[in-house]
Amino acid sequence: MSPIILQYITDFGDSAVMAAITLAGIIYLISCKNYRAASVIFLSLLLASFGIGLLKILFMSYIKNSFIRSPSGHVALSTAVLGIYTMIIAGQAEKKLHRIIGVSFVIALLIAIAASRTLLGYHNIYEVIIGFFVGYLVFICAGLFYLRAEEPAKINKGKLILIIIAIAFLTHGFRLPAEKMIEKLAIELKHNTQILGKNISNLE
């Protein structure tokens, strides 16, 4: 497959796109008075970002591993955010066929994003798998919180889907320098840790 097509696919998983569709979804869900769904969407992005960011720092600075250096943030964020959106929308779908189609499409998109990360050489299979498990764990935790609601407020599923798709295409191609920022932070933390270690040794 052409690298241009692969890059086009992988950009849908960028943190810029995930943050944008999260914000747009939160605004819409709040307008529908579905506060639990809005909070869960925010929670999924927050936890996935924190989890994958922490793992990136650990592997870049402290855990020396020849196979893993930077777990995939694209895979983690898209799995968590798109997974929760799918749960919210599919949960209110009246027809089973619509749920099957929606879930199948999102799974196919997540697989495509994960595959593009490896085929383009941004990550290896181990880093993609770790990213998936981070996103899936966040999806499960946030999903359980959402399902605690006895009867979630109704939403216009079609409108929410259109908002997500429109914002995704509008922000497609924008890329947040998250990887560079995390790598810079990891270097700073490692440097400060080494200085602290030397100071402690000198005191002893």
Residue pointed to by tokens 């995939």: 72
Residue pointed to by tokens 């099957």: 100
Handedness of CA 98, 104, 108, 111 (dihedral sign): positive
Looking at residues 23-36, what average pLDDT do you find?
A: 93
Looking at residues 148-176, what average pLDDT do you find?
A: 87
User: What are the extents of the domains in the chain?
Assistant: 3-203
Six token digits for residue 88: 């919210």
What pLDDT does residue 176 have? Answer: 82
What pLDDT does residue 199 have? Answer: 55
CA-based angle 83:86:109, to the nearest 5?
65
Residue type, 30: I
Looking at residues 178-195, what average pLDDT do you find?
A: 68
146: Cβ–Cβ under 8 A, 6 or more apart, which residues?
A: 36, 37, 40, 84, 87, 88, 152
